[in-house]
Structures are given as structure tokens and as C-alpha cells.
């Protein structure tokens, strides 16, 4: 799993004890997902505009290993294992560590490919599928 984003826990992300609110982890997963797509050469905004399709979250899971605290720098890794790229859905997997390497959280989100009108899922377009598969290939041509 490769690093795709870094975020600093701000005061507004925490409770009175200085510990990150549990719902923020899904927001940090979203940061990672957008940066993963961007690093693969595909912005989510451009995908929506070009294809008229959306990738809403249809399932989410977070496992909390250690608390993130105010002012921690979090390193977020993301990937889409090839087996999790299906006809009309994709499962992004995430790991969040502190800069010192301690695992803070892990989890995944599943996204269905949908038209603007909603309704039934549609197949992920070939261009996006190819971009996502290429993003998982080892860097450096080996």
C-alpha cells in the first residue's frame, strides 16, 4: 500500500481530551481516495464531468487501532486490490499511521458506479478501470 496523503490533526478534529473524533477517519479516507485518483492521473471532478457518473460510498468500515491526537501528522496509504475492482463497484482500502509508523486506523470503503439519476449501478468505464489498475502496478517498470 502506498502513501497518498498526509494530514495534520487540527484542534477542530478533536474532542476535549485532544483525541480525534471517530467520524474524521472517514473524511481522511476521502482525502486519500481523492489523492489516490489524482496520483493515478484521474481527478474525481474530471471523471464526474466527463462520464456523468458518480462513485457514492455504499459501505464503509473503520478499525481503530490507536487514537490520533491533536497535532499528529497522519500518513495515509490507499490501494484498490485488483480483486476488489468489480464490474460496477470498487473497494478502496486504507491504512493510517502516525509519522513514527504507529498504526492508527485501517479500513475500506466500497463505491458503486452510478448515473447522475441514481437507480441501478452501471459498469465502471474502461478508462477509469485501466487507470485504477495501472495505479496498482509497481513503480519503475518492474
User: What pLDDT digit, counting tens, does each position of 14-58 carry?
Assistant: 999 999 999 999 999 999 999 998 988 888 888 888 888 999 999
Superfamily name and number for 2-135: Hotdog Thioesterase (3.10.129.10)
Q: What is the DSSP string of the chain?
A: -EEEEEEEPPGGGB-TTSBBPTTHHHHHHHHHHHHHHHHTT--HHHHHHHH-EE--EEEEEEEE-S--BTTPEEEEEEE--GGGB-SSEEEEEEEEEETTS-EEEEEEEEEE-EETTBSS--PPPHHHHHHHHHHTSPTT--
| Given the residues 13, 15, 71, 100, the one annotated as active site | 15
Q: Tell me the domain boundaries of the chain.
A: 2-135
Is residue 13 flagged as an active site residue? no
Q: What is the pTM of this model?
A: 0.89
Amino acid at each position: 500500500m502506498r502513501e497518498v496523503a498526509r494530514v495534520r490533526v487540527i484542534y477542530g478534529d478533536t474532542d476535549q481530551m485532544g483525541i480525534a473524533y471517530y467520524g474524521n477517519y472517514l473524511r481522511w479516507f476521502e482525502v486519500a481516495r481523492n489523492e489516490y485518483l489524482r496520483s493515478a492521473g484521474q481527478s474525481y471532478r474530471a471523471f464526474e464531468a466527463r462520464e456523468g457518473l458518480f462513485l457514492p460510498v455504499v459501505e464503509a468500515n473503520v478499525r481503530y487501532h490507536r487514537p490520533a491526537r491533536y497535532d499528529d501528522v497522519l500518513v495515509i496509504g490507499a490501494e484498490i486490490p485488483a480483486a476488489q475492482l468489480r464490474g460496477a463497484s470498487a473497494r478502496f482500502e486504507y491504512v493510517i499511521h502516525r509519522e513514527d509508523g504507529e498504526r492508527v486506523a485501517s479500513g475500506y470503503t466500497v463505491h458503486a458506479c452510478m448515473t447522475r439519476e441514481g437507480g441501478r449501478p452501471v459498469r465502471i468505464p474502461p478508462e477509469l478501470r485501466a487507470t485504477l489498475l495501472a495505479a496498482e502496478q509497481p513503480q519503475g517498470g518492474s
